[in-house]
Chains A and B, each alone.
Chain A
Amino acid sequence: MALLEVAHVHTFYGDSHILADLSLDVAEGEVVCLLGRNGAGKSTTLKSIVGVAPPRSGRITLRGQELAGLPPFRVAQLGIGYVPEDRRVFPNLTVHENLEVARRTWAHTGGDGATELWTEDVLFDLFPILRERRRQLGGTLSGGEQQMLTIARTLMGNPDILLLDEPSEGLAPLVVEMLREQLGRLKASGLTMVLTEQNIRFVSELGDRVYILEKGAVRYQGSMAEFLADETVRQAYLAV
C-alpha cells in the first residue's frame, strides 16, 4: 500500500482552478520528484497535501488516513514534514530555537517513525555548519545555511515523509552540491521524500520516480531511469 496517496484532487485559489484532477502516490522509502515548468502547480500540490491550500475535492491519505480538511498542524502531527520554497526560518530565533520550536511534543500515531530518529545532535552531524551557528539568529545565516536549517527544523518533528519545495533554488552551485549529498544521506537513512524541482541534474541521482505536472495535472509518470532515457518527454514538458 502506498504511504501517501493523492487522488483526484482539485484545488482553487479564489476562482482560479489550479490543480485539476491531480493524482499521485508515494511508497514507503521512496524519493518522488515533481517536475514541471514555472506555474505548473508543483508548490500547490505540496500545499494541498499539508493543508495550507486545502483542496476543494479529492482524497489525500497517509497510510489510509484522510488528511484533506485537517488544519496544517494536524497534518504535521500525523507525520508529514513540509519545507516550503521560500525557506522561512524564524529570523528572530537562534538556530537552536528554530529547531526547538519544531521538536515533536505530540504522541506519535502509527508508522515506524515512532522512534525519535532525529534529534538536534543527530541533525548537527548531518549539517555540521548548523552546530557552529547554534547560537546565531536564523536571519543572519546565508541562503544555503537557511535551507539546511529549514530541512533540519522539519526533521525535528520526526516526520514519516518529507516534502521539499525546490530545495536548490537560489543557492550557489557549491552549496547545491553539498545539499544534494546531504539529501542523499537522508534517503539512505530510509526517509521517504517528495521533491519539487526545476533543476533535473539536482534530482537525477536522488529520485526514484518522476511525475511531470502541467497546468495542475500529471502529464507523465515513470521511473527516474525511464525519464532520463526519454528525450522527448523532457522536450515536451520541461524545455522552456
Chain B
Amino acid sequence: MELITSLFPWITNGPLIAVQVMSGLSVGMFLFLISVGMSLIFGVTRIVNLAHGSFYMVSAYFMVTLIEVMPERALSFWIALLLAPVGVAILGGVIEVTLLRRIYRRDPMMQLILTFGLILVIGTLVLLVWGPDNKSVPRPDALAGSVRIFGQPFPSYYLLVLGLSPLVAVGLWLVFYRTRWGMLVRAATVDREMLGALGVNVSRLYTQVFVFGSWLAGLGGALAAPTVAVALGMDADVLINAFVVVVIGGLGSFAGSLISALLVGELQSFGILIFPAVSIVLLFAIMAVVLIVRPWGLLGRPEE
C-alpha cells in the first residue's frame, strides 16, 4: 500500500481523481460520437469507412472557417456548431451516392482501398484549402474559462461536452429504438435482402445511414475543435481511437460503442497520470485481449 501511494501519489487525492474521471468522460464522449457513426455505417453497409476520421477533421476545419466569416462573436460558435456537421453530412451523402454505392457488392479489400483513397484525397484537399499551418477554434466566451470542481480547475468547455453527451446518447437511443427509421436500420444490419423483399428501398436507406453517420463524425469534430489544435494529422489520430473503440465494443453495436468509448476515454485520462507512454500500449493490449476472448467485441454479434 505504501509502495502504491509512493508510486502514484495522486491515488489518495480524491478531487484530482474526480476531475480525471470527468475529463475521461469528455474524451470518451467524443470517441462515442465518432465510433457510433462508424459502427452504424459498418453495421448497415458492411463498409469499414476509413475516411470517417477525415470527416471529423473536415468538420473541425469547417468550424475554423465558419467562425472566421461570421461577424457576430457571441453566437458564431453556436451557429458554426450547427452548420459544420451538416456540411459534413452533405459531403458524406455525395461520397455515398457517387462512389461507395458502386462497391457494396465488391471484395472488402476493394472497399478498404477506396475509403483509404478518400483519406488521401480529403487530406490533400484540406491542405490545399486551409494550408499546412495549425488552426485553432476559440471556445465560446461563456465557456472560455475554467470552473473549480472539488477545488481543482476544470475547463468549463468540457462541461458543455459532459452536458451534451447524455442528450446525444439518449437521442440516438430514441432514434434507433423508438422510430420506424431506427427499426429499418436495425433490420438492415441483419438481413438486407429480406428487408428489400418487404418493399423497403434499401439503397436509399444506405444513403441515409451514411449521411447520418457522417453527421455524427461531424458533430464530434465540431465539438472537439476548440479542445485540440486543428491540424492535418487529426484524421489519423481519431481514426485509430475510433477503430479501437469500435473493435472493443463490437462493430454495429450501439451500447457497445458507448461503453467502450467511455472505457477508452477513462483509460487515456488515467493512463496519462500513471505513465503517459503506457496508455496507448494499454489501449492496444485491451483491444488484443478483447479480440482473443470475444472476436466480435463486447456487445457485438458473431458473424454467421
Which A residues fall within an 8 A CB radius of B? 50, 52, 71-73, 76-77, 82, 84, 88, 90-93, 97-98, 100-104, 106, 153-154, 156-157
Whether A157 contacts B198 by the Cβ 8 Å rule is yes
Residue of A71, A91, A93, A97 near B196 (CB, 8 A) is A71
Residues of B within 8 A of A98 (CB): 187
Residue of B180, B190, B196 near A90 (CB, 8 A) is B190
Whether A93 contacts B201 by the Cβ 8 Å rule is no
A153–B187 CA distance with the chains assembled, in angstroms: 13
Specify the main secondary structure of chain B where it touches its partner.
helix
Residues of B within 8 A of A73 (CB): 196-202
Residues of A within 8 A of B194 (CB): 84, 88, 90
- B160 contacts the other chain (CB 8 A): no
A50–B195 CA distance with the chains assembled, in angstroms: 13
Closest to B181 in A: A101
Q: How far does the Cβ of B82 sit from chain A's closest Cβ, in whole Å? A: 30
Whether B187 contacts A93 by the Cβ 8 Å rule is yes
A157–B196 CA distance with the chains assembled, in angstroms: 12
Q: How far does the Cβ of B173 sit from chain A's closest Cβ, in whole Å? A: 15
Closest to B200 in A: A73
A8–B104 CA distance with the chains assembled, in angstroms: 32
Q: How far does the Cβ of A116 sit from chain B's closest Cβ, in whole Å? A: 14
Which B residues fall within an 8 A CB radius of A? 180, 183-184, 186-187, 189-191, 193-202
Residues of A within 8 A of B187 (CB): 90, 92-93, 97-98, 101
Whether A76 contacts B199 by the Cβ 8 Å rule is yes
Whether B183 contacts A77 by the Cβ 8 Å rule is no
Residues of A within 8 A of B189 (CB): 92
A84–B186 CA distance with the chains assembled, in angstroms: 20
A82–B197 CA distance with the chains assembled, in angstroms: 7
Q: How far does the Cβ of A102 sit from chain B's closest Cβ, in whole Å? A: 4
Residues of A within 8 A of B201 (CB): 73
Residues of B within 8 A of A100 (CB): 180, 183
Closest to B301 in A: A92
Whether B199 contacts A102 by the Cβ 8 Å rule is yes
Q: How far does the Cβ of B186 sit from chain A's closest Cβ, in whole Å? A: 6
A90–B198 CA distance with the chains assembled, in angstroms: 12
A228–B222 CA distance with the chains assembled, in angstroms: 72
In the complex, which of the residues B189, B195, B196, B198 has the most CB atoms of chain A within 10 Å of its own CB atom?
A: B198
Q: How far does the Cβ of A52 sit from chain B's closest Cβ, in whole Å? A: 7
Closest to A156 in B: B198
A156–B198 CA distance with the chains assembled, in angstroms: 9
